Structure 1
């Protein structure tokens, strides 16, 4: 299909059937989530652009990155947890790029984060350099350049898959340098970097056959007692939604969910304009 299809924009939660807002599975179980069959997310904004694509105000200060706005979530493949981001179980501390260089080893996964942007992932290959998918091309850059001023951290433990050896991770990354556009097999920097480290085809576009089953569950933690669940046909679809949530931030995601649950409750109460 190549470039014949433009982006398939994400459906709002008001348009997507979901589970009970309290996180309790109904008799029907978790509902189907959003499909991103033709979509790619934008890892990075164009120079001089704001989050919504408009021109930045040069006099407006950037918001400092606030870890309290991280969206905590877990991903399950059937009953096995394959990804978890939780303040209690994961080291989410971020550093300046210069300080992170003292903590990196070849083969590490690095995540760059900034308020209002998609997280950007890279593979540290040694000698202060990373390989990353940036604007539809796999590039070899210095870590400090790839950060573009963002905070960063090592995220080896977010995915629960067994890692390849460091040499193989670096080799996987370096062999892709220079690929661009239609040569690419990944929709975003996270899928690329995770594929380099874990070697799983599920991170690639079309790596899983879509046969109507939804084996992946994305569980968003709204509070200690409440969560929200969506199901996806493929790992890459799930990653697209997870990254969209990271882009929005916890406050916006919870507001979006609250709006959805309110509309669902209103429909239940007034299905044809009158309470049942």
Structure 2
């Protein structure tokens, strides 16, 4: 978990020079690029055995057991040095896709969640359509189709970066439609959607220099006013760990932490257990 030294790294890295093509940010950066794979999209089933109408909306009810319960999500916060850049307190209530269509505005970020699955992030661009990274391709889909039966919520506020204007977010998302495979610059659907919303290179593969420093901290809020802190070299790495926690659920994360702390016999340089 995180940077625990007793576990092998889940991915192979290759060091490559990278640049951010955004106007005004043409300074070369040496970063680390993942061998391409996605943490969520390749694990999703294309069809969920649900009948859908011509807009991708479900006709049948989704099994209740597949819904992610709010009490199964672990509250957490992300810090870059001393600045809080992300916070998930008590997770927001989720809505069915047809309800989301009445609340979404162009430029909104929409997160779809279900038990045992990685969260799937999309950018709402209007006209019942979203743009999202799915199965190694940036696609434009109907919101109901992109949900694949999961409930969702608008998550504009979890990241604390200054957002682009709604028009700029929509334009940024639409300009990426059709990009596939090794031409992709984002590790998962969340990184893609957040990059569209905030335009920050930290969300792109190789967007930050990894030189041994660990400026990012993921603070997990545990029962009994306890916190567990993990440190990371890049926001990209931290997002991968936080999404894994969301996928396995609160109980599994707490059990995993207890097992690790018992094995280590206490805290290490890259993991801390403390009172909140």
Structure 1 and Structure 2 fold alike (TM over 0.5): yes
**Are residues 1:75 and 2:66 paired?**
no
Q: Which is further off, 216-225 or 253-262?
A: 216-225
Q: State the alpha-carbon separation in 2 of the partners of residues 140 and 157 from structure 1.
A: 23
CA distance in 1: counterparts of 2:118 and 2:233, whole angstroms:
22
How far off is 1:62 after superposition? Answer: 4.3
Cα pair distance change 1:209/1:12, threshold 3 Å: closer
CA spacing shift, 1:36–1:167, aligned 2, 3 Å? farther
Task: Say if 1:96 and 1:152, in contact at 8 Å, map to a contact too.
Answer: yes
Structure 2: gaps (5+ residues): 14-33, 49-62, 269-276
Matched, 1:85 2:88: yes
Tell me which residue corresponds to 2:132: 132
Is residue 114 from structure 1 mapped to residue 114 from structure 2 by the alignment?
A: yes
Residue 223 of structure 1, CA deviation: 2.0
Match of 2:176 in 1: 176
Compared with structure 1, are the counterparts of its residues 11 and 86 closer, same or farther at alpha carbon in structure 2 (3 Å cutoff)? closer
CA contact (8 A) 1:216 1:235 kept: yes
Whether the aligned pair in 2 keeps the contact of 1:14 and 1:260 (CA below 8 Å) is no
Cα distance in 2 between the residues matched to 1:86 and 1:255: 20
Please show how residues 87-236 of structure 1 align to structure 2 within 5 Å. Answer: 87=90, 92-236=92-236
CA distance in 2, matches of 1:266, 1:161: 34
Could you give the per-residue CA deviations for residues 109-137 of structure 1, whole angstroms, max 9, x where no partner exists?
Answer: 00000000000000000000000000000
Name 2:23's counterpart in structure 1.
none
Q: Distance in 2 between matches of 1:167 and 1:110?
A: 16
Structure 1's unaligned 5+ residue stretches are: 1-9, 17-32, 51-59, 269-276
Structure-2 change in CA distance of 1:267 and 1:114 (3 Å): closer
**Secondary structure of 2:191's partner?**
helix
1:71 Cα offset (Å): 1.5
Task: Tell me if the contact between 2:67 and 2:113 (Cα under 8 Å) persists in the aligned partners.
Answer: no
CA distance in 2, matches of 1:167, 1:267: 46
What is the TM-score with the length of structure 2 in the denominator?
Answer: 0.77
SS, match of residue 178 in structure 1: coil
Aligned-pair distance for 1:256? 0.3
TM-score by length of 1: 0.77
Q: SS at 1:192's partner residue?
A: helix
For 1:43 and 1:194, the matched residues in 2 are separated by 16
Task: Kindly indicate whether the alpha-carbon contact (under 8 Å) linking 1:162 and 1:198 is maintained by their aligned counterparts in 2.
Answer: yes
Partner deviation per Cα, 1:39-97 (whole Å, 9 max, x = no partner): 644323243899xxxxxxxxx9843321100011100000000000011xxx6110000
CA contact (8 A) 1:36 1:240 kept: no
CA RMSD of superposed structures (Å): 2.7
Contact 1:42 1:118 in 2 (8 A): yes
Cα distance in 1 for partners of 2:214, 2:3 equals 19
Aligned to 1:43: 40
Indicate the structure with greater strand content.
2
Match of 2:69 among 59, 66, 83: 66
